[in-house]
Structure 1
Amino acid sequence: MPRVLIPLAPGCEELEAVTLIDLLRRAELEVVTAALEPGPVTCSRGTVLVADVDLDEVAEDDFDLVVLPGGQPGATNLERDTRIHDLLARQAAADRWSAAICAAPAVLASTGLLDGRSATSFPGAVDAARYPEITLLEQPVVIDGKVVTSRGPGTAMDFALQLIELLLDAEQRAAVEAKLMRPGA
């Protein structure tokens, strides 16, 4: 079963974090949530999450996917953490999936994972002038190579479902989506 790491930084966007955790677990993926700091994580709107582990406990482990929730100051906290940069570099070197939503694609940009790629993010999160080698799109979800990016809280379900399809298959995605009772699904 594919393993997924979701690092939880103080100030992360709770809608994105919880949607990712919930939908990926509904698909029966092994999801590990890891706090950047010991103790509960207070999200951008005051919701408190308790991670499965501290990041130090799994920072050297291999994962099929590392996915970064956005929000502020969560994305900034992820970007400042050298362990996150090391994890992302190892993902790329091993040709494994990396993903980010909302403000978190800026972390992928600062790590160099978006160089020469198309991506999306919350408007303005990735500075086009600072990163002219990135083609910024306004699509809900963008896949380029082994990197997946998404726009924000409103695209969190589409993002999570796309990750399920990439890690498993379209049938698993459809099975999870059918139980969500989404309009038009």
Structure 2
Amino acid sequence: MKKVCLLLADGFEAVEASVFTDVIGWNKSLGDGTTQLVTVGLHDQLQCTFNFTVIPELQVSDMNIDEFDALAIPGGFEEAGFYEDAYSEPFLGVIREFERQGKIIASICVGALPVGKSGILVGREGTTYNLGEGRRQKQLAEFGVKVAPDQPIVVDGNIITSYNPSTAFDVAFKLLEMLTTKENCVHVKRLMGFV
């Protein structure tokens, strides 16, 4: 079984988290059956951008990264406190350890910013939220990332980044493809009505 850690910061966007739970869940139930998703956070209860609350299955302090094959990070809103968790050392430490072990890291929208802040994207290509005069993309560049401003999704080795919430399903499907096979991913897309 390939396990995905869905790493949630307070202030995360529920829709960006839900695509990972659905795509990985559909694969577990109706695809090749080889994937499982576990929600992980820094607190007993997390609140998303628009007040939806989630109780993560594990806290960062209790997780064993060796048991996971991939990391998924949804973005969130600054006004909802996203960066307080996402830029914290425990959160960044998880990202660094997944990279040290060469595991897949998939982020959506501003979920790329903690990936950039962790230092693992220095000199590599990536992207993040592209609207609002490119402010978030400039922040990503300040972390030493070669920003591809017009690419909706950027894959650089084991790291997937994307430029806004509209890319969420595509990122989740790319993660599934990298964990399983292209054929299996197409099969799950077909079951979910995407092809």
TM-score greater than 0.5 by the shorter chain: yes
Q: State the partner residue of 1:35.
A: 41
8 Å CA contact 2:128, 2:140 repeated in 1: no
Structure 2 counterpart of 1:56, from 33, 49, 61:
61
Query: In the superposition, relative to structure 1, how do residues 133 and 10 fare at CA in structure 2: closer, same or farther (>3 Å)?
Result: closer
Task: Note the alpha carbon deviations across 1:41-90, whole angstroms, 9 max, x for none.
Answer: 21101222232222222155442111111011364134332122222111
Structure 2 counterpart of 1:125, from 118, 133, 136:
136
Does structure 1 residue 24 correspond to structure 2 residue 24? yes
Distance, in Å, in 1 between the alignment partners of 2:25 and 2:95 is: 22
Does structure 1 residue 164 correspond to structure 2 residue 163? no
Query: In the superposition, relative to structure 1, how do residues 138 and 59 fare at CA in structure 2: closer, same or farther (>3 Å)?
Result: farther
Query: In the superposition, relative to structure 1, how do residues 134 and 62 fare at CA in structure 2: closer, same or farther (>3 Å)?
Result: farther
Equivalenced residues, count: 182
- Residue 89 of structure 1 aligns with an amino acid whose one-letter code is R
Higher share in helix: 2
Does structure 1 residue 11 correspond to structure 2 residue 23? no
| Over 6 Å off, 4+ runs | none
Residue 136 of structure 2 aligns to a residue whose secondary structure is coil
Structure 2 unaligned blocks of 5 or more: 29-34
Distance, in Å, in 2 between the alignment partners of 1:145 and 1:14 is: 27
Worse-superposed segment, 66-75 or 158-167: 66-75
Residue 142 of structure 1 aligns to a residue whose secondary structure is strand
Structure 1 residue 125: Cα displacement: 2.1
Q: Among all aligned residue pairs of Structure 1 and Structure 2, give the percentage whose two residues are the same amino acid.
A: 25
Distance, in Å, in 1 between the alignment partners of 2:4 and 2:140 is: 29
Structure 1 unaligned blocks of 5 or more: none
Query: In the superposition, relative to structure 1, how do residues 176 and 69 fare at CA in structure 2: closer, same or farther (>3 Å)?
Result: same
Q: TM-score if structure 2 supplies the norm length?
A: 0.85
Does structure 1 residue 93 correspond to structure 2 residue 91? no
Query: In the superposition, relative to structure 1, how do residues 80 and 164 fare at CA in structure 2: closer, same or farther (>3 Å)?
Result: same
Query: In the superposition, relative to structure 1, how do residues 131 and 85 fare at CA in structure 2: closer, same or farther (>3 Å)?
Result: closer
Structure 1 counterpart of 2:117, from 98, 102, 110:
110
Q: State the partner residue of 1:70.
A: 75
Structure 1 residue 167: Cα displacement: 0.6
Distance, in Å, in 1 between the alignment partners of 2:159 and 2:19 is: 19
Structure 1 residue 136: Cα displacement: 2.7
Distance, in Å, in 1 between the alignment partners of 2:55 and 2:141 is: 37
Q: What do you get for the CA RMSD once the two structures are aligned? A: 1.8
Distance, in Å, in 1 between the alignment partners of 2:167 and 2:160 is: 13
Task: Note the alpha carbon deviations across 1:98-153, whole angstroms, 9 max, x for none.
Answer: 12111111111111111111111112324255235423332221110111111222
Q: TM-score if structure 1 supplies the norm length?
A: 0.89
- Residue 4 of structure 2 aligns with an amino acid whose one-letter code is V
